[in-house]
């Protein structure tokens, strides 16, 4: 899988799940459980994607995408791992 697709998945996953949760709010009281499940799936998937990008960056040394606009090296991978874990634990 290309690095551009990895970055796109990492950036678009929270947007997709937040839009799904927002759309479920229109359903009323029965949507509470659905929103909770969608939120849990979203933060879990985001943690998995973040750790996958970190592992790929650790294996490759550094990764670039979008014409060198997106870049993850060792320090960026460390911050991404910390943010992914903290986001999962506090989500």
Which tokens in the block code for residue 81? 């791992």
Q: Where are the domains of the chain?
A: 3-90
Q: Across-strand partners of 65?
A: 70
Instruction: Provide the CB-side half-sphere exposure for 56 (13 A, CA).
Output: 19
What was the pLDDT predicted at 29? 63
Instruction: Provide the CB-side half-sphere exposure for 75 (13 A, CA).
Output: 0
What was the pLDDT predicted at 80? 95
* Higher local confidence (pLDDT), 31 or 23: 23
Closest CA to 62 of 84, 85, 78, 49: 78
DSSP letter at 19 equals H
With bands split at pLDDT 50, 70 and 90, how would you rate the model's confidence at 8? very high
- Predicted confidence (pLDDT) per residue in 40-87, tens digit: 999 999 999 999 999 999 999 889 988 888 899 999 999 999 999 999
């Amino acid at each position: 899988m290309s690095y551009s697709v990895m970055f796109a998945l990492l950036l678009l996953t929270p947007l997709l799940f937040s839009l799904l949760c927002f759309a479920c709010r229109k359903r009323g009281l029965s949507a509470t459980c659905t929103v909770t499940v969608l939120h849990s799936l979203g933060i879990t998937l985001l943690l998995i994607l973040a750790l996958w990008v970190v592992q790929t960056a650790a294996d490759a040394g550094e990764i670039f995408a979008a014409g060198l606009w997106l870049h993850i090296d060792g320090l960026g991978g460390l911050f991404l791992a910390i943010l992914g874990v903290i986001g999962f634990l506090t989500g």
